[in-house]
């Protein structure tokens, strides 16, 4: 038996050709394409198709895929009726897990997965992927209205995935720059090798469970505060700091007390998270465009990063992707408790790519344990305990 390594750290759990990280050089690539190039030249829709199919689509393929996503944006009124029976105060990640799991009940026939010979039924896999990808954004956006007691906003067929998501979420046609930033945020969060939620995908997929229940499981893993949710913490931290002048004192005090600076450092990167660099560029562009008319938190964030760079860069600790996404989402009118659901919407693409890959070469996950408990002992009746 191999050595026991807590959290399976360093233990290969799968062979995968979806994404790769070079933590020394700060490179993240999807299917071989660097995240910087995708952020600059691709769209979320194209990136999703790249992750799923392993290659960049032709214009025809991409347009067809976009149309399929548009065609699958509606939710059944049964689903909305169910959502209206959920408590408005519940966390949106729990809501998302619930509703995605329920979708499986409308799509019970995944019998093509039962049969090993047709496990690669690509039509089933593609169509289900489209449905889930389109639905998750609608669920998150509609929930924002339903939990506040209002009717949802219907999807607009003329808008892209990112634009339509913001439109359905806020009820207003989005600012083009913010919509572009949302598109990039969705690209940046779509995939990141075998983190805990993607590992949950593999484990659940390996039992041939339905893709709805697989994605629901992964949403559950992402909802854990050790996994998703750091960008919400960053925003709270920035608000606590309040003004740029207070950044230095705050950071130094936290470091002296060995407390975490939210949004700094990532176990996979020894240098700056490439996604953070991309977001920082977009933040600068946004600030330049808006001039003075912006949330003061942007200036606080820049001040915090400057101090952190000075104090922590030598230790290989830099801003990560969570550092800037929160203030950007906030600027789009998204409340902090919905930040992780947006992460989930985007990461659903990666999860479904891994689901498909797992089915292609499946073996059920059944690791062993190191038993540390009692040896066999006699049962003692209750009157003798």
Assess contact for 261 and 255: CB atoms under 8 A.
yes
Q: Is residue 266 flagged as an active site residue?
A: yes
Shortest Cβ 22–its own copies spacing (Å): 9
- HSE toward the beta carbon, residue 277, CA cutoff 13 A: 13
Residue 2, interface with its own copies (CB under 8 A)? yes
Q: What is the DSSP string of 171-224?
A: SSPPPHHHHHHHHHHHHHTS--SS-HHHHHHHHHHTTT--HHHHHHHHHHHHTS
CB of 196 to its own copies, least distance (A): 5
Please, which of residues 110-129 interact with its own copies by CB under 8 A? Answer: 113-114
Nearer CB in complex with its own copies: 53/248: 53
Q: Of the ranges 8-16, 155-163, 241-249, 306-314, which one interacts with its own copies (CB under 8 A)?
A: 8-16
State how far the Cα of 135 lies from the Cα of 352, in Å rounded to an integer. Answer: 13
Q: Using H for helix, E for strand and C for coil, what is the string for 95-138?
A: HHHHHHHHHHHHCCCCHHHHCHHHCCCHHHHHHHHHHHHHHHHH
Number of residues binding to its own copies, judged by CB under 8 A: 112
Among 136, 208, 238, 334, binds its own copies (CB under 8 A): 208
Question: What is d(CA 72, CA 317) in angstroms, rounded to the nearest whole number?
Answer: 42
CB of 90 to its own copies, least distance (A): 2
Residue 149 neighbours by CB distance under 10 Å: 8
Taking CB under 8 A as the rule, does residue 31 contact its own copies?
A: yes
Could you give the CA distance from residue 162 to residue 345 in angstroms, rounded to a whole number?
Answer: 11
Q: Which of 196, 255, 287, 336 binds its own copies (CB under 8 A)?
A: 196
Site for its own copies in 220-249 (CB under 8 A): 220-227
Span from 14-22, 168-176, 284-292, 344-352 in contact with its own copies (CB under 8 A): 14-22
Residue 85 touches its own copies, criterion: CB under 8 A: yes
**254-293 binders of its own copies (CB under 8 A):** 267
Contacts with its own copies, 39-58, as mask; x by CB under 8 A: --xx-----------x-xxx
Binding segment toward its own copies, per CB under 8 A, in 77-85, 169-177, 250-258, 300-308: 77-85
Rg value, the chain, Cα = 22
d(Cα 72, Cα 132) in Å, to the nearest integer?
A: 8
Q: Which of 135, 189, 192, 266 is catalytic?
A: 266
Residues with active-site annotation: 266, 322
């Amino acid at each position: 038996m191999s050595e026991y390594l807590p959290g399976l750290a360093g233990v290969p759990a799968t062979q995968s050709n979806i994404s790769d990280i070079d933590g020394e050089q700060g490179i993240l690539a999807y299917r071989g394409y660097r995240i910087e190039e995708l952020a600059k030249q691709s769209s979320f829709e194209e990136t999703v198709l790249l992750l799923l199919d392993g290659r960049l689509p032709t214009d025809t393929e991409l347009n067809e895929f976009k149309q399929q996503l548009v065609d699958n944006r509606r939710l059944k009124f049964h689903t909305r009726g169910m959502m209206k029976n959920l408590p408005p105060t519940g966390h949106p990640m729990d809501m998302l897990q619930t509703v995605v799991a329920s979708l499986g009940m409308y799509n019970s026939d995944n019998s093509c997965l039962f049969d090993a010979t047709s496990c690669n039924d690509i039509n089933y896999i593609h169509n289900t992927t489209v449905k889930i990808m389109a639905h998750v954004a609608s669920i998150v956006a509609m929930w924002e209205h339903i939990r506040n007691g209002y009717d949802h906003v219907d999807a607009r067929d003329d808008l892209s995935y990112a634009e339509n998501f913001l439109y359905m979420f806020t009820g207003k046609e989005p600012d083009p720059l913010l919509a572009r930033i949302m598109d990039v945020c969705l690209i940046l969060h779509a995939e990141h090798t075998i983190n805990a939620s993607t590992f949950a995908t593999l484990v659940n997929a390996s039992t041939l469970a339905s893709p709805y229940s697989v994605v629901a499981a992964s949403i559950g893993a992402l909802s854990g505060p050790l996994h998703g949710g750091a960008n919400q913490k960053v925003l709270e931290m920035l608000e606590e700091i309040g003004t740029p002048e207070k950044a230095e004192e705050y950071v130094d005090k936290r470091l002296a007390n060995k407390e975490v600076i939210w949004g700094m450092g990532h176990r996979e990167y020894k240098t700056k998270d490439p996604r953070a660099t991309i977001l920082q560029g977009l933040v600068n562009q946004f600030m330049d465009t808006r001039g003075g008319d912006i949330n003061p938190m942007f200036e606080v964030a820049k001040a915090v990063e400057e101090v952190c760079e000075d104090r922590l860069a030598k230790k290989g600790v830099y801003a990560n992707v969570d550092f800037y996404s929160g203030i950007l989402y906030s600027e789009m009118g998204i409340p902090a408790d919905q930040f992780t659901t947006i992460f989930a919407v985007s990461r659903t693409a990666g999860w479904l790519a891994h689901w498909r890959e797992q089915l292609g070469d499946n073996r059920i996950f059944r690791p062993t344990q190191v038993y540390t408990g009692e040896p066999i002992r006699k049962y003692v009746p209750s009157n003798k305990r």
